[in-house]
């Protein structure tokens, strides 16, 4: 694609005349990915400054450099160095034009919120596919573009990778892409210029405040997804969340709400929860419909309601939806249940925010109460390093207040001292006799299993689907599920 062709549909003012109509072979913001004929976006990030790698990009064969800095390349001739504003927006728009210009045939469904994004996205994809559609997925666990499936590196990848995957889905003649849209991605313009056919808001609680600084900024980042919807789009929101209506303040889209407590377009009634799953009823077009699911926990009722609302928008028959919900299997690392030899249950869950931890413990408590075996909730958890510190003491408070017993351990300490993280968790602990500290995560899981009795739930939180533990920047293999299987014989 010629640079003139690439630039003609970019609605940003670029005060530059290209000396030559260069044939562009690809785009990159990492100089290591540059090949001959590429454009290089020299982006100043939080950890690295792309401007430091301009010469490397030129050596690799870059023909055009976009930068926000006053940069001059030395010892290179016939190189176009273009100073621009809003380089991330420019990169997003050019990525879409280069990799995903045939965007009209692929409907995008975005799911945002603090908790529940992954399960809701998987549910929507499953319902669409059950109805005969072809659907791709971009999210926290993996990226699915058709026959190709790869592990995720970011919940919402940067715009070049994003549009490459969307272009691949369009090439594979897929009907939908369901994607998790993170607040950081929205703030950093990773999805800028994409047109969403539907968007879902799950909830908003404290998270990523190391990046956003406060809840208002965090909320405003999420709100961008809905502000940019068109009148032909669908906006879906949780009306039980305090931000559920606020998120729609400036949207042009059709508004639909779901709930358990407050009134909404799709409200759950008569909920029943057990170790084996859940059930509830809802009123749709003046008829009562019953839903059964293998998923467990009240929070999953919200995820199901959100996904059903989206499916109904695409005229999928509600009886087909009911059957599909009944057949849907739990998502990897999301409240996964493992029976232990002594009659207790280990649960692997990704809950790593204060609210998701609270929801997971309350779900476990509700299930043990339903089972009526005097079961205890034993929670094993830690907090990640170099992330939002404001949630740590809150998680300590929730864990010790809501659980029968707590084992505080290490998660992914990254570059922080694990014991310093644990000490911050302890600032929220008000009880004195229902917790212990075992820094080594393997030993903590082993202890939780050994401590359990018949009817108990050993709730292991924080890592979910992750199969590594990151210490001092080094990732080593670690899988909570494997640890449970290794020590399950300890449950006697």
Residue-level pLDDT at 57: 95
- Give domain status of residue 93, yes or no: no
> Which positions ≥6 away from 177 have C-beta within 8 Å?
106, 107, 108, 109, 135, 136, 137, 138, 165, 166, 169
> Using one digit for the tens of pLDDT, what is the confidence trace for 35-49?
999 999 999 987 889
For the cut 70, the answer to whether the pLDDT of residue 477 exceeds it is yes
pLDDT of 202 over the 80 cut: yes
* The predicted structure's pLDDT at residue 77: 64
Q: Are residues 421 and 349 in the same domain?
A: yes
Number of domains in the chain: 3
Q: What pLDDT was estimated at residue 212?
A: 60
In tens, the pLDDT along 312-327 reads 999 999 999 999 999 9
CATH classification at residue 461: 3.90.190.20
Last residue of a domain, one of 327, 352, 376: 327
Statement to judge: residues 161 and 180 lie in one domain: yes
Looking at the DSSP bridge assignments, the partners of residue 474 are: 471
- The answer to the question of residue 173 being in a domain is yes
Strands 377-381 and 457-461 turn out to be parallel
Q: What CA–CA distances, in Å, run from 369 to 278, 299, 364, 448?
A: 14, 17, 9, 20
Q: Put the strands of the sheet holding 142-144 in their side by side order.
A: 149-151, 142-144, 135-138, 176-180, 107-112, 198-201, 234-238, 254-259, 266-274, 277-284, 287-293
Question: What value does the mean pLDDT of the chain take?
Answer: 93
3-state class of 490 per DSSP?
A: helix
Residues 305 and 412 in one domain: no
Give residue 291's pLDDT band: very low, low, confident or very high (50, 70, 90). Answer: very high
Q: Is residue 66 part of a domain?
A: yes
* Residue at which a domain ends, from 65, 87, 109: 87
pLDDT of residue 71: 63
Q: Are residues 341 and 412 in the same domain?
A: yes
pLDDT at 154: 84
Q: Is there a domain that residue 95 lies in?
A: no
Least confidently predicted of 6-20, 95-109, 123-137:
6-20
pLDDT at 72: 59
The answer on 368 and 303 residing in a single domain is no
In a domain, 92, yes or no: no
Which of 271, 294, 327 is where one domain is finished?
327
Tell me if 23 is assigned to some domain.
yes
Q: Which domain holds residue 37?
A: 3-87
Domain membership of residue 267 (yes or no) is yes
Please indicate, yes or no, whether residues 378 and 309 belong to a single structural domain of this protein. Answer: no
- Our CA angle for 224, 231, 118, nearest 5°, is 50
Contact indicator for 396, 411 with CB cutoff of 8 Å: no
Structure tokens at 247: 């998120």
Q: What is the CATH number of the domain that holds 17?
A: 3.40.1390.10
Structural domain includes residue 404: yes
Of 92 and 101, the one with more pLDDT:
92
Ranking 202-211, 288-297, 464-473 by mean pLDDT, the lowest is 202-211
Predicted pLDDT of residue 410: 97
Cα–Cα distance between 302 and 279 in angstroms, integer?
12
């Amino acid at each position: 694609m010629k640079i003139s062709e690439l630039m003609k549909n970019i609605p940003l003012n670029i005060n530059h005349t290209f000396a030559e109509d260069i044939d562009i072979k690809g785009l990159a913001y990492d100089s290591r990915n540059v090949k001959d004929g590429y454009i290089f976006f020299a982006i100043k990030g939080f950890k690295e400054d792309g401007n430091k790698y301009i010469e490397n990009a030129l050596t690799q064969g870059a023909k055009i450099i976009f930068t926000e800095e006053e940069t001059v390349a030395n010892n290179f001739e016939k190189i176009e160095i273009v100073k621009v504003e809003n380089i991330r927006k420019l990169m997003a728009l050019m990525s879409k034009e280069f990799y995903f210009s045939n965007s009209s045939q692929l409907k995008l469904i975005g799911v945002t919120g603090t908790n529940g994004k992954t399960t809701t996205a998987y549910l929507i994809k499953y319902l669409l596919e059950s109805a005969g559609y072809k659907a791709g997925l971009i999210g926290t666990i993996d990226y699915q573009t058709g026959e190709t499936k790869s592990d995720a590196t970011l919940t919402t990848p940067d715009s070049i990778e994003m549009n490459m995957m969307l272009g691949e889905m369009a090439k594979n003649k897929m009907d939908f892409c369901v994607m998790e849209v993170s607040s950081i991605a929205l703030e950093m313009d990773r999805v800028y210029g994409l047109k969403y056919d539907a968007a879902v808001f799950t909830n908003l609680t404290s998270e990523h405040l190391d990046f956003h600084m406060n809840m208002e900024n965090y909320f405003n980042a999420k709100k961008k997804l809905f502000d940019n919807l068109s009148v032909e789009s669908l906006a879906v929101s949780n009306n039980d969340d305090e931000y559920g209506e606020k998120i729609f303040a400036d949207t042009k889209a059709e508004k639909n709400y779901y709930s358990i407590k407050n009134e909404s377009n799709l409200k759950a009634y008569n909920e029943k929860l057990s170790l084996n799953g859940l059930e509830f009823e809802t009123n749709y077009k003046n008829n009562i419909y019953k839903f059964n699911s293998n998923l467990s926990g009240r929070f999953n009722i919200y995820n199901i309601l959100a996904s059903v609302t989206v499916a109904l928008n695409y005229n999928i028959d509600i009886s087909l939806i009911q059957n599909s919900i009944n057949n849907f299997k739990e998502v990897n690392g999301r409240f996964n249940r493992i029976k232990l030899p002594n009659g207790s249950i280990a649960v692997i869950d990704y809950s790593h925010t204060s609210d998701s931890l609270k929801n997971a413990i309350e779900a476990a408590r509700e299930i043990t109460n339903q089972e009526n075996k005097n079961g205890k909730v034993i929670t094993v958890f830690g907090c990640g390093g170099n992330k939002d510190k404001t949630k740590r003491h809150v998680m300590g408070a929730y864990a010790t207040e809501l659980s029968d017993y707590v084992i505080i351990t290490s998660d992914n300490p990254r570059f922080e001292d694990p014991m310093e993280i644990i000490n911050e968790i302890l600032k929220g602990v008000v009880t004195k006799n229902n917790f212990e500290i075992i820094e080594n995560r393997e030993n903590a899981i082993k202890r939780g299993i050994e401590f359990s009795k018949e009817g108990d739930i050993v709730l292991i939180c924080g890592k979910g689907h992750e199969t590594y533990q990151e210490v001092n920047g080094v990732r080593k293999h670690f899988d909570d599920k494997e640890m449970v299987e290794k020590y399950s014989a300890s449950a006697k």
